[in-house]
Amino acid sequence: MRGHYQVSNARDDRVFTAFSWHPGGNVDRRTNLYYLETRDMGRTWQTAAGQTVQIPLGDDDVHGAALAHDFQAEGRLVYVNDIQLDADGHPVVVMVTSTDHRPGPYGNPRSFTVVRWDGQAWQVHEIAPTTNNYDMGSLYVESDGALRFIGPSEPGPQRWGTGGEVAAWTSQDRGRTWTKTRDVTHDSPRNHSYVRRPVDAAEGFYAMWADGNWYTYTRSYLYFTNRRGDRVWRLPYTMDQDHASPELMECWSDP
Give the per-residue pLDDT at 90: 98
54 φ/ψ angles, rounded to the nearest 5 degrees: -90, 135
| Length of the chain, in residues | 255
What per-residue confidence (pLDDT) applies to 26? Answer: 94
Instruction: Point out which residues pair with 65 in neighbouring strands.
Output: none
CA angle 120, 121, 124 (to 5 degrees): 145
Quick check: is 30 in a domain? yes
pLDDT score of 42: 98
Q: Which residues pair with 112 in a beta bridge?
A: 96, 128
Residue type at 147? L
Range of the domain at 100: 6-252
Which residues partner with 97 through β-bridges? 78, 111
* Contact (Cβ atoms closer than 8 angstroms) between residue 94 and residue 79: no
Q: What pLDDT score does 66 carry?
A: 98
* 212 in a structural domain: yes
The reply to whether 1 falls in a domain is: no
Number of domains the chain is built from: 1
pLDDT at position 255: 82
Determine the pLDDT at residue 71. Answer: 98
Q: What is the DSSP string of 121-158?
A: SEEEEEEEE-S-TT---EEEE-TTS-EEEEEEEE--SS
Per-residue pLDDT of the chain (255 residues; tens, 9 = 90+): 787 789 999 999 999 999 999 999 999 999 999 999 999 999 999 999 999 999 999 999 999 999 999 999 999 999 999 999 999 999 999 999 999 999 999 999 999 999 999 999 999 999 999 999 999 999 999 999 999 999 999 999 999 999 999 999 999 999 999 999 999 999 999 999 999 999 999 999 999 999 999 999 999 999 999 999 999 999 999 999 999 999 999 999 998
Q: What pLDDT score was predicted for residue 3?
A: 77
Residue 6's beta-bridge partner residues? 19
Which 8-state DSSP code applies to residue 202? B
Strands (E), the chain: 6-11, 14-21, 31-38, 45-46, 52-53, 67-69, 77-85, 91-98, 111-117, 122-129, 138-141, 147-154, 165-171, 179-183, 191-196, 207-212, 222-225, 232-234, 247-248
Distance CA 7, CA 163 (A): 19
Whole-model pTM: value is 0.96
Residues 213 and 162: their CA atoms lie apart, in Å, by: 9
* CATH code: domain of residue 189: 2.115.10
